[in-house]
């Protein structure tokens, strides 16, 4: 066993950039801890994006193609489907429960989002539709 260690040290010392590392097993544990820390940091890096997801960002990705960025429904698809202006009094007078049901279950040509969005995401969309009504 000692001869293997001597051979290994000789081989490593030939390499000018080599820094001798302890061979007591601590290097492996430290390396594993460092790798775990890097993986944890990488995993947590995705969390802020989810936590910062807003009603506006959801609307842009899920609704704006038909309803338009401003909710007016003046996009080519919106005009073709005859979608209502989400800022209108007609839409704004609906209850949150009605809007939630419409987003969740869909209506006519509007797709259902109950399997694509969480309840929290749907609630954020309803809140954003309310905000759009105030901006008109």
pLDDT tens digits, 105-133: 999 999 999 999 999 999 999 999 999 99
Q: What percent of the chain shows pLDDT beyond 70?
A: 65
Mean pLDDT of the region 77-105: 95
Cα–Cα dist 111/128, whole Å:
18
Cα–Cα dist 52/47, whole Å:
8
Which range (48-57, 71-80, 86-95, 111-120) has the least confidence?
A: 48-57
pTM over 0.75? The answer is: no
Buried b (16+ CB within 10 A) or exposed e, 77-91: ebeeeebebbbeeeb
Cα–Cα dist 31/24, whole Å:
13
> Does domain 54-135 correspond to CATH entry 3.10.180.10?
no
Contact yes or no for 129/110 (Cβ under 8 A): no
Q: What is the three-class DSSP state of 99?
A: helix
Cα–Cα dist 84/55, whole Å:
19
Cα–Cα dist 129/99, whole Å:
9
Backbone φ, ψ for residue 110 (5° rounding): -75, 130
Q: CATH 1.10.760.10 in the chain, residues?
A: 54-135
């Amino acid at each position: 066993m000692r001869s293997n260690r001597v051979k290994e040290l000789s081989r490593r010392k030939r390499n000018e950039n080599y820094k001798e590392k302890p061979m007591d097993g601590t290097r492996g544990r430290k390396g594993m801890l460092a790798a775990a820390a890097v993986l944890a940091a990488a995993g947590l890096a995705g969390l802020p994006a989810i936590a910062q997801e807003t009603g506006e960002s959801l609307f842009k990705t899920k609704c704006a193609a038909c309803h338009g960025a401003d909710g007016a429904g003046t996009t080519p698809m919106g005009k073709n489907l005859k979608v209502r202006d989400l800022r209108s009094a007609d839409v704004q007078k609906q209850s949150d429960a009605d809007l939630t049901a419409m987003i969740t279950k869909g209506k006519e040509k509007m797709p259902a989002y109950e399997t694509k969005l969480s309840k929290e995401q749907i609630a954020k969309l309803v809140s954003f539709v309310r905000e759009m009504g105030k901006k008109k």
